Amino acid sequence: MQFGIFSVGDVTPDPTTGREPSEHERIKAMVAIALKAEEVGLDVFATGEHHNPPFVPSSPTTMLGYIAARTEKLVLSTSTTLITTNDPVKIAEDFAMLQHLADGRVDLMMGRGNTGPVYPWFGQDIRQGINLAVENYALLHRLWREDVVTWEGKFRTPLQSFTATPRPLDGVAPFVWHGSIRSPEIAEQAAYYGDGFFHNNIFWPADHTKKMVELYRERYAHYGHGTAEQAIVGLGGQVFMRPNSQDAVREFRPYFDNAPVYGHGPSLEDFTEQTPLTVGSPQQVIEKTLAFREYAGDYQRQLFLMDHAGLPLKTVLEQLDLLGEQVVPVLREEFAKNRPADVPDAPTHAARVAAAKEEVTAV
């Protein structure tokens, strides 16, 4: 099982001091956070993609390429890559290039984005959101698997004998996750291709996440990729820790109360009770995270949201120390217990290359 962090990349003033980092500071902070993730033994760093303030990460492969050069083991991913408004040809090329530079430490998560206005900025129509996700991904899927593609669709100009370059590293496409909070169409899409399904699992009660994951697992089996238990599931999570849980609550409350999305709404207590958010001691984080398995089944990837709502970099780095030293080692050990042998590990480039070779030999 893989553990990591995912960042939205928001520039939010620290509500306790009123200080707002510059875009430059925030971008550098995201890199520092990624490097720290590797240092403390986490497996994955994923960045969001946004094209409007107050967010900075508009160009994920640029950032991930830079991080790739400064890390050895970390898997670089996205949360999410906009399959609706990016040209699938450019996604195919950008991520194949990143795959080569990072020696295969790359996967990505498809998403539709969280803001309607982004569609016209890239010449697209929001009413076609799901259809764009379907058609663009169908093309992207072929561009990574077929050397020469002739293609015609509804939303972009046709391709005649086109070859996306560079070809994927070792001839194996980056692994793809499909992220969705509430769209069954996306769970269906992930299942159809035998790709991973990631539920952000942050803002909504667990029973909703459970329903979406169950749908994906059922349809994964329906399409013959394996049993429902073998489907590739990723979950988000959100934590804030201090050795003493009262300290964690006291320190995090102003960030929670003013956070984008849920700030100025429910109380911290209600939200921690009703959603996967944990604010407390590392032990409480361990207990709550282990319980995810009860509703999502044995899964492959757990990403935590650690750097948002104006938390200063120093605090985030301290949080990553706690996560890497006290939480993740226990989670690795506990999640491995009673895990059925036929539940696959999280996909890696090496494993996918080996599987592709085996397939060729078998044929």
Q: For binding to other proteins (CB under 8 A), which residues are involved?
A: 130-131, 134-135, 138-139, 153-154, 184-185, 188-189, 191-192, 203-205, 208, 211, 214-215, 219, 223, 262, 264-266, 270-271, 274
* Residue with Cβ nearer other proteins (162 or 204): 204
Residue 78: exposure state from Cβ atoms within 10 A (0-12, 13-18, ≥19): buried
Q: With respect to other proteins, which residue has the nearer C-beta, 10 or 135? A: 135
Smallest distance from the beta carbon of 53 to other proteins, in angstroms? 21
- Name the minimum Å distance from CB 159 to other proteins: 13
Q: Contact at 8 Å (CB) between 150 and 163?
A: no
Cβ proximity to other proteins: between 265 and 329 the closer is 265
Which residue lies nearer to other proteins by CB, 209 or 319? Answer: 209
Residue 282 CA: distances (Å) to CA of 47, 144, 184, 239, 242 = 24, 41, 34, 9, 7
If the CB atoms of residues 4 and 15 are measured against other proteins, the closer one turns out to be 15
CB of 54 to other proteins, least distance (A): 18
Q: Which two tokens stand for residue 249?
A: 């609550």
Task: Output the smallest distance, CB 172 to other proteins, in A.
Answer: 23
Q: Measured from the CB of residue 36, what is the shortest distance to other proteins in angstroms?
A: 31
- Looking up tokens 């992220």, which residue turns up? 179
Q: Which is nearer to other proteins, 117 or 265 (CB)?
A: 265
Cβ of residue 223: shortest distance to other proteins, in angstroms?
8
- Whether the Cβ atoms of residue 61 and residue 112 lie closer than 8 Å to each other: no
At its nearest, how many Å lie between other proteins and the CB of residue 126? 17
Least distance (Å) between residue 153 CB and other proteins: 6
**Which segments of 115-263 are extended strands (E)?**
149-151, 159-162, 175-179, 196-199, 233-235, 239-241
Which CB, 35 or 215, lies closer to other proteins? Answer: 215
CA angle 65, 47, 69 (to 5 degrees): 20
Report the chain's C-alpha Rg in angstroms: 20
Quick one: DSSP state of residue 239? Answer: E
Q: Is 65 left (phi over 0), alpha (psi -120 to 50) or beta?
A: alpha
Closer of 190 and 286 to other proteins (Cβ): 190
* Amino acid letter, 325: E
Percent helix, percent strand, percent coil in the chain, to nearest 5 = 45, 15, 40
Tokens for 63, please give them. 């950032």
CA 100 from centroid of its chain's CA atoms: 20
Of residues 292, 351, 359, the one with CA closest to residue 105 = 351
Contact in structure between 251 and 244 (CB atoms under 8 Å): no
CB of 163 to other proteins, least distance (A): 20
Residues 6 or more apart from 355 whose CB is under 8 A from it? Answer: none
Complex with other proteins: residue 184 or 329, whichever CB lies closer: 184
Greatest alpha-carbon span in the chain: 63
